[in-house]
Structure 1
Amino acid sequence: YNDFQHDELSKCNCTPPYSSILTIAARHDLNDINGTYPDTPYGHRCAGATDAKIISYEMMQKSSLVAIAGPTTDQQPPFIWSKSDFDKKVSHIGHPDKWDFKPYAPTWTLS
């Protein structure tokens, strides 16, 4: 989840008046590269949440989980190295160009 443009908790003394890092699944790449922010971590940089593991009590009893790789894309576009301003600045050898993955629920063989 990252609907920072409409999330009351993402508001800050910034231009634009919000920051993507003040959300559950922060993505610094979404912050305006020309924005003004009260502190460096609030601004535009190559950082953010990259995965999630989801589990419930019922899932734990079955030794199951749901894993989601990549930055959140529910309300935001996927991260694409070749379209980002970080493409030539940050080494990303071995990474896929587009970070848009579906949730994965592994099946375990228990003995």
Structure 2
Amino acid sequence: MDFHRETTAELANMAYFLDGRVSVVYGTHTHVQTNDERIFPKGTGMITDLGMTGPLWSSIGHTFESRLPQFLTGTKLFGPKAEQVVGEGVLTGIFVEVQAGKCIRIEKIRIREWEE
């Protein structure tokens, strides 16, 4: 289950609440892969955030220069004002093995374009 949340505590509590009812709960909000993958006692796997797939040297896909004013002024600058980056890519996510509806294995995936 994709749980788009603000805090890590929200996801951990949702995974606890759903333990045994769903195979996996994962977060998608911060774009930074977390290091907290685990399997709850009744078979629900979880990770707080999958991370992102996109340009590594970027601010969630945009140039640092085009996003910096947003953080300095508090003004949201999405759309055509945020210049997109083309460059070295990174893919993050998880591999989950499920048997009879229960998560038996959860592993992080992180692949950088230049790594073999």
Q: TM-score, normalised by structure 2?
A: 0.28
Structure scoring higher RCO (CA < 8 A, sep ≥ 6) equals: 2
More strand by share: 2
